[in-house]
Amino acid sequence: MKVTLNNKLRGYSGKLGDLVYCSYHNFRLCHNRIFSYPRLSETHTKMGEINNNLNTLYMQASEAYRQDWKKYAQRNAMENQSRCGGIKKQMPPAKALFIKCMWLWAKANPAVVDLRSVSKEAILNLESPLRSVCACVQCGWLRKVTAWESLNNEI
């Protein structure tokens, strides 16, 4: 089946009935396929538990801590954006950066950290770099941005 776009859109993506439309290569290629729901496995269940726990942990953090992540994400987007003329990637938001650092912490300490059950108290008791954004930058998990030393509110 051939897809034709009559509305002169740059690209089209999404679902329409049983079809899924996808855009690639900076909206120069658009193709479709029949939607099929993936079979759920044990890995999907594990990832769901981890994501739910990390979301809960982020929402339980203090408001000042979350504001520090938002400030870092904004500064990171301004200062560390790719300068090449090709396709520009969207920079990650605050919560995505927090989750990235959580995964890096779990990878560095696999015997101690279980992302399915980690809590705010565990982060403080184990003296994790995730106590503050400043500590994550110091240990090399995040790039340096302007005034990163001031982002030191604890979880």
Residue range of the domain that includes 21:
9-38
Residue 71 covered by a domain: yes
DSSP sequence for 58-115: HHHS-HHHHHHHHHHHHHHHHHS---SSSPPPPPP-HHHHHHHHHHHHHHH-TTT--T
User: Does 123 lie in the same domain as 75?
Assistant: yes
Give the whole-angstrom CA distance, residue 134 versus residue 129: 8
46 plus 18 within the same structural domain: no
Q: pTM here?
A: 0.73
Q: Does residue 48 share a domain with residue 21?
A: no
Residue 104, CB-side half-sphere exposure with 13 Å CA sphere: 15
Give CA–CA dist 102/115, Å, rounded: 8
Whether 3 maps to a domain, the answer reads no
Strand order in the sheet with 19-24: 14-16, 19-24, 29-34
What is the arithmetic mean of pLDDT over 144-148? 85
> What is the model's pLDDT at position 51?
92
Query: Residue 88 has what pLDDT?
Result: 66
Query: Tokens 């993506």 appear where?
Result: 13
Residue pLDDT, tens place only, 126-140:
888 888 888 888 888
Q: Alpha-carbon distance 72 to 94, whole Å?
A: 7
Q: Is the domain of 46 the same as that of 14?
A: no
- Residues 64 and 152: beta-carbon distance below 8 Å: no
Buried b (16+ CB within 10 A) or exposed e, 102-111: bebbeeeeee
Predicted local confidence at residue 86, as pLDDT: 59
| Per-residue confidence (pLDDT) for residue 143, from 0 to 100 | 87
- Can you give the pLDDT at residue 53? 92
Token pair of 102 as six digits: 């959580």
Domain count, the chain: 2
Q: Which of 8-17, 25-34, 97-106 has the highest mean pLDDT?
A: 97-106
Identify whether residues 56 and 126 lie together within a single domain. Answer: yes
Helix (H, G, I), strand (E, B) or coil at 12: coil
